[in-house]
Structure 1
Amino acid sequence: MMFLTKKEWKNLARKLRFSPRRRYYVITAIALAVLFVLVYCSITSSYYCFDTGVEWKVTKFCQRQGLSGSMCPEFCSRSGVFWDLRCPHPSLEIHHPNRFQVKRQDTPLTVIQAVPNENYEKLFWVDSYYHKEHYPSEIEYENIVKRYISNKYNLEVPYEKIRTLMRLTHKENIPMFHHSMRDSWNLIQNHEFVMAVMFNENDLFPYVEGNCAEMFASEKLNAVEFDENRSYFGSHITLDRWRYHIKMAVLILDYMDELDQHGIQMCHVDLSRFGINNNRLKYDDLRFVFTDYTINRKISSGSYCARDEHCNFMHCKSECNVEKNRCESTVMNNNVQIVCDKIFLGSKRYPGILITQKTPDRLHMLLERCANPTQDRDVSRSRPLGTSEELRKQLYNELTSIYEKLALINAS
């Protein structure tokens, strides 16, 4: 092992000593490098969205080889059919790093990229000798898709629906067909895509317009506008705006009733994600909207818990088996309880859309009971923390009665 002498240490230090000018150049270079890294991380961040980042993502996507899908020729061309790429507006309460909006000529659309997650299942297998990818036949793939949807969502896939889900192209070109199958499999494993397509006929969610590889476009809803700051609902609302709030609450209750009829549970409700197209209320963030089967299996997975809150998923509540310290119960509240709590009633800091200085005492009492059902008559028979159908009807009738009275005042 060699050691430097004192004289050699001094010579080395002398070589490393920078002049003031050299120090200035080095510090400037380091500062610029750090600034570049920070700007790059901000643009490509999964927590923030920048319009330049959206354009960069699409440009990089369109440079890939073997893209397939009905939307590709226009989406990746320079013809200008697709333009005005930008971050979602209004912004999402919980950021979605793979979602943006675009215009197809003059029609606004929402685009989502189906990025594989940690639960991604591969479609093909690679043999150890030739290192070649082996894909299923079209018939085999169709059966794989049916089993996947049945196992995950407990839904049967009709014959006419399977084609809409699979979206296979280039069947005459084997390599391109396999590309198409791989892109299709990415879409099938995307929860938002499956929910939108499977319930398309029910008109509950935005309609899927088309896809390019794993990117799919759906109709952009005209957002339900609540232009007041929610902190000031109580003191800054006109009769017209109050009537609008009542109308939207009635539409939301109708929508919740439809979801219940189709066995769909919302586990996060964001007021800004409700929208209306062709006089039809829909909800456009499907990341936390599940079939009852899917969310019940997720929430009762047997994971460790010490208290009930550990078994909750977003706004969906469950309970902990404290003897086993395991989450074994299914969802215990329901859609009506969630919207009463998060949208209609709100909190002291952020009052709900039905909490204003014009709110009648009877309506306020019904909202409190709906958001926090404790009496036997208020509790759902199937869900111990959910709102009963009887209470939902009372609230619905009260809202329609108020709306009719306000309409008479407005007409006089």
Structure 2
Amino acid sequence: MYWNHKIEQQDIPSKADFLVQVTTYVNNFVGGEVSGEVIRQLVNYTHLYTAEQESPALHRDFGQFVQDHEFLTAVVFEKLSLFPKIVGICGTYYAMQYFEPLTKNPMQPFNLSWRSKLWRALDMIKYLGLLETSGREPLHLCDVKHDHFGWDERGRLSFLDLDSVLSETFLLRTMQDTPHCDTHHDCSYFDCQGRCHLRTHRCHLQRTNTNLQVVCDKVFLGHTASLLSLYGLLVSSEASQDLQDALHLCSTNKGMTVDSMTDILTRASNALMF
């Protein structure tokens, strides 16, 4: 795109040509057609084409914004109400809506009652269901951590690390663009695991685990590939054997569904009423 080089006054395209370029770029990012409303909102954030003469500085700023994965994800998927919103821009900086993280230090015990832990877990499971069904294709969380989930003042949940949110098309394209693989890790994008075909040394175009598996494993059970010991949200002496078995199955079996896990957590929460 034109904003990859130093922009001078003579480099600035007409508004019509500019919108075509931006639309093409954003469609490639999403893996499908984005509405004109989203494109206009993206352009309006930096007040382009509102003055009598266009500013090269504003176009340079826009170039940084549109190539920022977090910023673009927040704008493109804003209508889904799944992620924090952009609340302000100043120069090349932007501010996002605040959400209180599940915990700021997963190596310390949660300061929550068992009931509150179950309710938090239910929020997260239902949120994963929305990621599967709200858009034209599933959205993948590729860097899941305790503090990447947060709640606003109204109790609405959001995933906070938008740099690691990938559409299905984007994730599969990342795998497809891997020129050579020797191990399954070569086809993975952080927590979004891939699979290497060891005969052709090409990545299969399919994720081999799910958002649900990763959340159960890393957040609910506190498992980590490092030597760090993390607290699992649902690791407790108060957890029934049925819930413990379900969490183990959820973390290891791709066949566990959001609906099944919702039912299990709902029963565990309801049992506290009696």
Q: When the two structures are superposed, what TM-score results if normalisation uses the length of structure 1? A: 0.59
CA distance in 2, matches of 1:370, 1:136: 52
Shift of residue 227, structure 1, vs aligned partner? 7.2
CA distance in 2, matches of 1:214, 1:204: 24
Choose from 299, 313, 316 the match for 2:192.
316
Percentage of pairs with the same residue: 25
Choose from 350, 373, 394 the match for 2:230.
350
Matches within 5 A, 1:247-258: 247-258=119-130
Q: Using CA pairs under 8 Å that are at least 6 residues apart, name the structure with larger relative contact order, 1 or 2.
A: 2
Choose from 119, 126, 134 the match for 2:11.
134
Deviations along 1:98-125, one digit per CA (max 9) or x if unpaired, are xxxxxxxxxxxxxxxxxxxxxxx44377
Q: What is the one-letter code of the residue matched to 1:334?
A: T
Choose from 225, 234, 250 the match for 1:370.
250
Matches within 5 A, 1:17-166: 121-123=1-3, 133-166=10-43
Aligned to 1:246: 118
| Equivalent pair of 1:187/1:194 in contact (CA under 8 Å) | yes
Q: How many residues align?
A: 264
Q: What is the one-letter code of the residue matched to 1:171?
A: T
Choose from 83, 87, 99 the match for 1:209.
87
CA distance in 1, matches of 2:160, 2:178: 31
Shift of residue 254, structure 1, vs aligned partner? 0.5
CA distance in 1, matches of 2:9, 2:75: 33
CA distance in 1, matches of 2:106, 2:16: 54
Aligned to 2:142: 267
Deviations along 1:91-148, one digit per CA (max 9) or x if unpaired, are xxxxxxxxxxxxxxxxxxxxxxxxxxxxxx4437789xxx974121111111111111
Structure with bigger gyration radius: 1
Q: What is the one-letter code of the residue matched to 2:78?
A: N
In the superposition, relative to structure 1, how do residues 401 and 328 fare at CA in structure 2: closer, same or farther (>3 Å)?
Answer: closer
CA distance in 2, matches of 1:363, 1:137: 60
Q: What is the one-letter code of the residue matched to 2:12?
A: Y
CA distance in 2, matches of 1:142, 1:170: 11
In structure 1, the gaps of 5 or more residues are 1-120, 374-385
CA distance in 1, matches of 2:81, 2:207: 25
In structure 2, the gaps of 5 or more residues are none
Residue 361 in 1 paired to residue 227 in 2? no
Aligned to 2:265: 399
Choose from 153, 168, 171 the match for 1:295.
171
Q: When the two structures are superposed, what TM-score results if normalisation uses the length of structure 2? A: 0.87
In the superposition, relative to structure 1, how do residues 271 and 213 fare at CA in structure 2: closer, same or farther (>3 Å)?
Answer: same
| Equivalent pair of 1:166/1:188 in contact (CA under 8 Å) | no
Deviations along 1:17-58, one digit per CA (max 9) or x if unpaired, are xxxxxxxxxxxxxxxxxxxxxxxxxxxxxxxxxxxxxxxxxx
